[in-house]
Structure 1
């Protein structure tokens, strides 16, 4: 089965683990470990155990994790501070173990000091459809217009975020009806302030852009680790699977759990399904910045195999991963769990997508103004005036970590929740 709504964070489930001060529900890693976590201890110790043991099976880069005995979370984090500080320290250490060979740094090299770039832990148990953390702006379409430029007719669309499809579909449909009337071959999509949101909405935008000839072609796939794909992550039996109404689902005559979900590539591949009347687009130009992240990057990546795609502005945030929430005691843990790959199998933008034309945007640009620096550069590129041999901005080469504060560029990323995962057939 599939839920009615979808997002870059996915299904959150309800299970209480380790609430007793003397005994816990066994959440060992089955036969994968010679030594599993103890069955007695404090509530804090049980939570430390559970964070590591879930990561051992669910984390995208679980191949980099040592055994439970070698990691020894109970000893490693004794006396560090408050529970939440201790648990976040553990998650941070787990997230830094897998090194990106291309950069020599961890895949989850922090943007905010001592916080993994992707994985996170929050106080509070979550349910499907709720929000956690910072909410995203509620407006999808900021500006849309047709811009005559030289001998070209160019479509321009500024998207502030990807709110729920139910709240943004009407505005998106109206914008594309107006753009389609001009039969443009080129479209400029302004995502410079778009930190992501609902993947379902980003997918809908992609379906509005493509011609009908791409119907059924792969848009992108979510790729879990091998154990998840093979269905050998038994720890997920401790997390119930909820249906579209937030109720426990039935699977093979019993209550379904997250271990019953289909984590195969085939079961998590999304395909184009043409929407709207726009059929003429041949080239797509994205205006981007360090705040362009997650669902915005998925949109860019998914169109690359099929269109002439160019980026103008500053390097994007770099988030080709997704996750679902795991409830442990009174906390929600979001472990990076899958790669987002396009039809060509590409997902290597962990440090961000570099622009083809590097331009530093103004803080408050006039969206849709042909004289605004980024849009002007896009129009010049469309008309063959500007060439691609432009040096990249030094400020976009890498993200530097400041252990005492925020690093630049930064991105405000939301935790809008939508249910995506489907049970095995």
Structure 2
């Protein structure tokens, strides 16, 4: 029977993603590529070799124990299992996924008939098309489900709140008879993760006592963290906690080691260069945003087969030392380029310019990442805007995935007028335990510092106030940076991947 005949009298259709809208393999291979890149950056192991191993194991034996097999084959620390799992949930894929042709035609027919379409994953429901039109409906009469193993997914996502979930209750009293003296460093670390969370974790209200949780029963630090995030007290809201071994801090410093460009398919199904870092190997080779890529390593970019997609993943987003591209420029001329992988400093300001629109001067800036090295670059761009006399500003954050809070503060103060000085920009909320000066575990975090009288003393983080007040230092206020003061309008361009 034609699929449309099954739903013609329904008001909405719900689709599962994997093996329904697109081949699960397409998603997983891109995740494995990203993981291999991460390991190469973190542990200096060859990403291409790791990717080829993972791809071969996946095609022969499937996903079961794939991380464990890879970790054993390449002597990868088991702590990276957490990163591997996170990529499955939150990966920003380098290539868009190609829908099954019959499903694409089916969805097009649903759109023409003004039916509501919902897409579910194992993590949440994505409301797509007419996204504000979801109402209570009789499932049996009005919705046809197209999904695999999706039971329970409809309630898996909830919106985060801005303050701790302190519903009038207090943290569970500690009981730690199982916390026996030990010199085992792994046990001590896992104890610390739990005990610090008990007093400082954003969702600490309702956490179990030590004996009930028993952090020493877990095989790794990341398993302890995952167990904390899975506690009922979080309400499934913790998507952000991770243990940083220094990798994230390094990435925020603004150094990368890839080709230095990204690409995606446009509305006409043409592969185009989305962005290029000027100092990267791609930028030095002459690659420009907007160029159409017609060949990758000698093969077309038409995506007519799985082999074509594999070639794109391996060529553009793999870890090969080089990639050969054939590009078509805006003037219609074609050029062959060979781009070699290399380390480079990121300038996250991809473009800035001043335009004259009638009698107005309009500034435009493409800001790609809140790296810690970008504040001087922002200062220079805004000094140029000031000299040009702009009165309106367009801030393009479509490709910005977030970064340093300190950099975002500086950026905000460059835009905001001096009349906002002293007014609250944002407030940091700590746990109620910390606000009430009950987080005694912070007494263990000691350091020497000069007091207001200039005398150096021994302090601890317990000596700080964590109340959401200016006096406690937990409210950031505007403090004008630079001399751009004449803005009458500011526009922000964002996309689904923007985290700014």
Question: Could you tell me the TM-score, scaled by structure 2's length?
Answer: 0.42
Query: Which structure features the higher share of helix residues?
Result: 2
Which of the two has higher C-alpha Rg? Answer: 2
Higher relative contact order (CA 8 A, sep 6+): 1
Question: Could you tell me the TM-score, scaled by structure 1's length?
Answer: 0.48
